[in-house]
Amino acid sequence: MPLVRISLMQTTAHRAQEIGRCVYDAMRETIGIPEGDNFQVINHCGVGELVYDPTFLGIERTNEFMIIEITLGRGRETAVKQALFARITELLEARCQVRPDDVMIGLNEVGLDDMSLGQGRAQFVENPPARLLSLSDNGSS
């Protein structure tokens, strides 16, 4: 169910797809999304369209800076989120030579009733996967 939005400076289609693949692979490894649950929007930004502070909090950002926003189901523990952040940056560095300082990640957590995967229906309300039910049993949705 995650919806990923990646905003980065202009690059090749191949590189953009590989960056997206790194994010998808990291989500598969750390938060257990199922095979094929891959929905991404990759925005190529021109000069002045991706605004960031190059040294905020002592992090040295370059013109390779990117923002990764992930909307996903609510309920994951902090340690799992931290593992996701770490794995995304590890894969981006290893496969795409993206410096970890150039990767900003934001998670937007939503409930099962906050997403439609098509047909104007909230599929996870109608038929929630067992994995999502266990998250909602813990007081989350």
Structure confidence by residue, pLDDT tens digits, 1-47: 899 999 999 999 999 999 999 999 999 999 999 999 999 999 999 98
pLDDT score of 136 more than 70:
no
CATH class of 3-137: alpha beta
Which residue from 22, 62, 72, 60 is spatially nearest to 42, judged by alpha carbons? 22
The yes-or-no answer on residue 54 being catalytic is no
| Residue extents of the structural domains in the chain | 3-137
| pLDDT at site 52 | 96
| pLDDT at site 50 | 96
What is the pTM (predicted TM-score) of this model?
0.85
Structure confidence by residue, pLDDT tens digits, 72-112: 988 899 999 999 999 999 999 999 999 999 999 999 998 77
